[in-house]
Structure 1
Amino acid sequence: MIRRPLRPLARILSARAEGTDPDLVEAEERAARLAARHRAERQKAETRLLLLGVVFILCFTTVAGRMALLSAAVPVEPRAEGTSEPIRAQRANIVDHNGAILATNLVTASLYAQPAQMIDPAAAAEALAVIFPDLDAETLRTRFTDGRKFLWIKRTISPEQRQAVHDLGEPGLLFGPREVRFYPNGALASHVLGGASFGREGVDAAEIVGTAGVERMFDQRLRDPAEVGEALRLSIDIDAQVALEEVLATGMAEMHAKGAVGILMEADTGQIRALASLPDFDPNQRPPLPTSGDPADSPLFNRAAQGRYELGSSFKPLTAALAIEEGKVGPKTLVDTKGPMHWGRFTIHDFHNYGPRLTVEDVLVKSSNIGAARLAIASGTAAQKRFLGEVGMLAPVPVELSEAARTTPMVPSNWSDLSTITIGFGHGIAVTPLHLATAYAMLANGGLRVHPSIVASDVRPTEADRIISARTSQEIREMLRQVVVRGTAKGADIPGYAVAGKTGTADKPLRHGGYARDKVIATFASFFPADKPRYVLVITLDEPVTYINKTAFRTAGLTAVPVAAKAIKRLAPVLGMRPDAPVETEEPPLYTVAGNE
């Protein structure tokens, strides 16, 4: 920048020539320089004011926009927990095989307090105790006034309770949104579904987590946001489940049993159509886990998947199948049944004296322990252990129930020849009724091991799953049909439906060793129709007893078989099966006099 001089030489010389004062030139130059400076400073000030105005406008616009967003948003309370991961309250539905809802979510509310905002804590405490009778007014009053800033009152409340609290007009009582798990059918299939409870909680949401059954087994899938819109479809048929539970409850009461199990399984696929364990519970109000005593006494105990029992003579068809498959015997082979049978210092008896010899078929029909022991010894310990392992009797049942995965069969630590003998007729090994149903499906479907499932699936066994030949399977089916026609399960010979099966009565072991004399586990494992089996049905009663002419009977033929017969007559029409012949309209009595089992 070139600075202009205050006394330009040209103007000074011109002024002197004209006779004017040269100092006026300097004054004019000073005034011009001052005016230029004022103009520059004014322009700079105007520019600064303009920029400041733009900044203020932007700031106020931002604040106004934020206020508009906040006013349009739904107001929520701050979270009660400090985790940064959001709580996912939603959970997918669970439906049965036909799409009927078994478990879903309902929208409700929670109730909490911020005592610092309360107007009259004492009055609020008294009013809440009236609305919620399980709350204590004095305890609430103490908590409202002890200086705490937050207090849960109720995790879930009904719409009526919410309105009653709202009517109190107390600003310190606040509501949070909640979704709760709801089971519309109450206790139906409770041991299949299991139940759910709250996990992580905040005032604006609560996490629903599975605690048992399929709710626990598929917890991650049910909570996955990508899967919430698609229901988990089970293999359970709600109509069959209702029928089985009703018959089982009636039979349990009439047979004075402590507990009962019913399992209905597709013979070809292992799909479980109904599974019941009694006593049961309502998963909407799931009781607490027992802290003492026998876990089996709790209604939470799933006898089908957790109950390990010696299932008695219902094991004998497996013993016969192994002996036939090994080529040791055929259905008409004569077996030595002269008793008693001595093995070392142990003696084995039959319920009756069946004579010196029986065919393999009659060993099952008459349920001879000695005959089954001879068949087991003929097969050998190694073959028996291998066979039972292949059938799945030595490992937890691979079904989608968290309880089943934790239940391992009880087998001899030293699998001796005596163990082989006793296991041959169902003692010395304890398995669940689910194990037995899986094994009978293999016997019935042509010899293929099924993979039992509670979830709807199209998976079927292949030749890679073959355990016994189709011929052996057919022979076992024919022999088990004879057990119903002329053996220990005559009470299950239902007109119109050809049933095949085997009874089993086993003394209950005592906690400190030995066996009870008057307590048994009675089982009837069956399949129907006998010629082309579609379904396997296992009925097990815990400590049943029935009275005929004032005499107590506990054998499966007089307890479990009549219950199974009623169940099949209820289930067959539900499953779309028509009788082969007209069925008597008159209902036969629940019990009939039969053989030892």
Structure 2
Amino acid sequence: MTMVSEPASFLQVRRAQPRAVRGSVSSSAVKARVYMAMLAFACVYVAIAGRLVMLAQMEEAPSRAWISAQDSISASRPDLIDRNGEILATDIKTASLYAEPRRILDVDEAVEGLTRVLPELDQNVVRRRLDSRAGFVWLKRELTPQQAEEVHNLGLPGIGFLSENQRFYPGGPTAGHIVGSVNIDNQGLTGIEKYIDGEWLADLQSLGFASDRTMEPVRLSMDLRVQHVVRDELVKAMERFQAIAAAGIVLDAKTGEVVAMSSLPDYDPNDRSQALEKDRLNRATGGVFEMGSVFKTFTAAMALDSGAVSINDSFDATRPIRAAGRTISDFHGKHRILSVPEIFIYSSNIGTAKMMLATGIDRQKEFLTRLHLTERLTTELPENAAPLLPPKWNELAAMTISFGHGISVTPMQTAVAAAALVNGGKLLPPT
């Protein structure tokens, strides 16, 4: 039995050992699987976290672009008012449409909806902007309240509105050339709007001191009531004489204040595209003309101021003057000797030219220079034209200039020079 039991014990031990080995291998495999599962979950969490970081970074760029756009359009402008406090220009709030292309879920749906509500938008342009990876793009500026409501009702993700200041001119074209106009970013383009930008407003806006805050209004010398009357009279005159243009100025001779200034055809500053039409330029300060017999006033003043001619002198106006192959005659001549007052009263070209010859060419040039009729006149308006002078200021040119031909100046220059003759001799810059 001893011999039988020993092999049995031996066999039992040998059978037990393989079972122990199999159990050890199974435990290692389980641990490996657990570690693999943990690693997989960790990778998933890392991927999710990375995706969240990427989304956060994607949101950051549009946010910065949105803030930049909001800053660029939120700058306020001061009201422009006339001398009596009537509003000429003011800011109103309006909505502008923008998109954040990265948030657009369905470009086709967005393009179809937007162009249906806003048919003036170009489908190709809108699609190109929405397909881009930009953080912020403009779609349309200055929407009407109805347009904004219809776009809002589309419920398109990634499409939003920014509130911005839009310039509004209650008087329309009445004082268009004076107040001027602004571009779509509310920056002055012409008139007083551009002047105040260049003087101080642009600096305040660049420093962030003009954002969404009320500023003191800018009071102009203009009287809206007088302005309306002047413009109305010019409209009637153009119709009566079938003129292509007209200009009128009311100037306070004692202060230089421009009480009214109108130039037709004018434009409505609320429609800024009209300001670009060449026929609508401000002829009062931006156009030059041969002023004709108005210049006889300056010639008479020059002759009397020089001392070469006295109020009691007379000049022979019986026959035309021949000079350099040209003939100078009177339109309604008296064909007799005229006194200095009569030369002025009857608007005699012959008598005026002879007064100039008695005074001298150099004296004429010096006197017109003192009246600022030979150089560009500086005003607060940016539209100021330079005069056209004769290429050769010889005797013939001097004679024609004496009665307003051969030299072209702006109507504003003429008004300023004329004011100096009636206010005691003070040449005041217009304001």
TM-score w.r.t. length of structure 1: 0.57
Give the direction of change, closer, same or farther, for the CA distance of 1:282–1:87 in structure 2 (3 Å limit). closer
What's the counterpart of residue 382 of structure 1?
Answer: 362
Aligned mate of 2:176, from 187, 190, 193: 190
- SS of alignment partner, residue 378 of structure 2: coil
- SS of alignment partner, residue 103 of structure 1: strand
Shift of 1:122: 2.1
What's the counterpart of residue 339 of structure 2?
Answer: 359
**CA-to-aligned-CA distance 1:131-166 (integer Å, 9 cap, x gap):** 223113454345434555543111221222111111
Aligned residues: 361
More strand by share: 1
What's the counterpart of residue 107 of structure 1?
Answer: 93
Identity %: 38
What's the counterpart of residue 269 of structure 1?
Answer: 255
Amino acid at match of 2:190: A
What's the counterpart of residue 313 of structure 1?
Answer: 293
Q: Choose 252-261 or 87-96, whichever is displaced more.
A: 87-96
CA distance in 2: counterparts of 1:318 and 1:352, whole angstroms = 21
What's the counterpart of residue 324 of structure 1?
Answer: 304
Q: Give yes or no for contact 1:192–1:213 (8 Å, CA) kept in 2.
A: yes
Is 2:139 the counterpart of 1:153? Answer: yes
CA distance in 2: counterparts of 1:254 and 1:268, whole angstroms = 33
Q: Give yes or no for contact 2:76–2:91 (8 Å, CA) kept in 1.
A: yes
**CA-to-aligned-CA distance 1:162-210 (integer Å, 9 cap, x gap):** 11111111112111121111111111211111111145xxxxxxxx311
**CA-to-aligned-CA distance 1:509-557 (integer Å, 9 cap, x gap):** xxxxxxxxxxxxxxxxxxxxxxxxxxxxxxxxxxxxxxxxxxxxxxxxx
**CA-to-aligned-CA distance 1:17-63 (integer Å, 9 cap, x gap):** xxxxxxxxxxxxxxxxxxxxxxxxxxxxxxxxxxxxxxxxxxxxxxx
Give the direction of change, closer, same or farther, for the CA distance of 1:179–1:379 in structure 2 (3 Å limit). same
Q: Give yes or no for contact 2:361–2:395 (8 Å, CA) kept in 1.
A: yes
CA distance in 2: counterparts of 1:222 and 1:234, whole angstroms = 16
Amino acid at match of 2:273: P
Is 2:284 the counterpart of 1:304? Answer: yes
Amino acid at match of 1:253: E
- SS of alignment partner, residue 247 of structure 2: strand
TM-score w.r.t. length of structure 2: 0.78
Give the direction of change, closer, same or farther, for the CA distance of 1:316–1:228 in structure 2 (3 Å limit). farther
**CA-to-aligned-CA distance 1:469-518 (integer Å, 9 cap, x gap):** xxxxxxxxxxxxxxxxxxxxxxxxxxxxxxxxxxxxxxxxxxxxxxxxxx
Amino acid at match of 2:240: E
Shift of 1:335: 1.1
**CA-to-aligned-CA distance 1:298-356 (integer Å, 9 cap, x gap):** 21x11000110001111001100111122233334211212220123222121133213
Is 2:342 the counterpart of 1:339? Answer: no
Q: Which runs of 5+ in 1 are unaligned?
A: 1-75, 200-207, 454-597
What's the counterpart of residue 150 of structure 2?
Answer: 164
CA distance in 2: counterparts of 1:139 and 1:399, whole angstroms = 43
**CA-to-aligned-CA distance 1:400-443 (integer Å, 9 cap, x gap):** 11012xx2111123221222111101011100000111111112
CA distance in 2: counterparts of 1:327 and 1:95, whole angstroms = 46
What's the counterpart of residue 221 of structure 2?
Answer: 235
Amino acid at match of 1:371: G
Q: Give yes or no for contact 1:115–1:150 (8 Å, CA) kept in 2.
A: yes
Q: Choose 429-438 or 346-355, whichever is displaced more.
A: 346-355
Q: Give yes or no for contact 2:269–2:275 (8 Å, CA) kept in 1.
A: no
Give the direction of change, closer, same or farther, for the CA distance of 1:149–1:229 in structure 2 (3 Å limit). closer
Aligned mate of 1:222, from 176, 201, 211: 201
What's the counterpart of residue 89 of structure 1?
Answer: 75
Shift of 1:90: 1.3
Root mean square deviation of aligned Cα = 2.3
CA distance in 2: counterparts of 1:222 and 1:97, whole angstroms = 21
CA distance in 1: counterparts of 2:324 and 2:125, whole angstroms = 70
Q: Give yes or no for contact 1:222–1:228 (8 Å, CA) kept in 2.
A: no
CA distance in 1: counterparts of 2:218 and 2:140, whole angstroms = 30
Shift of 1:236: 0.4
Aligned mate of 2:189, from 205, 211, 214: 211
Q: Choose 372-381 or 111-120, whichever is displaced more.
A: 111-120
Q: Give yes or no for contact 2:169–2:269 (8 Å, CA) kept in 1.
A: yes
Is 2:426 the counterpart of 1:448? Answer: yes
Shift of 1:115: 2.7
Q: Which runs of 5+ in 2 are unaligned?
A: 1-61
- SS of alignment partner, residue 363 of structure 1: helix
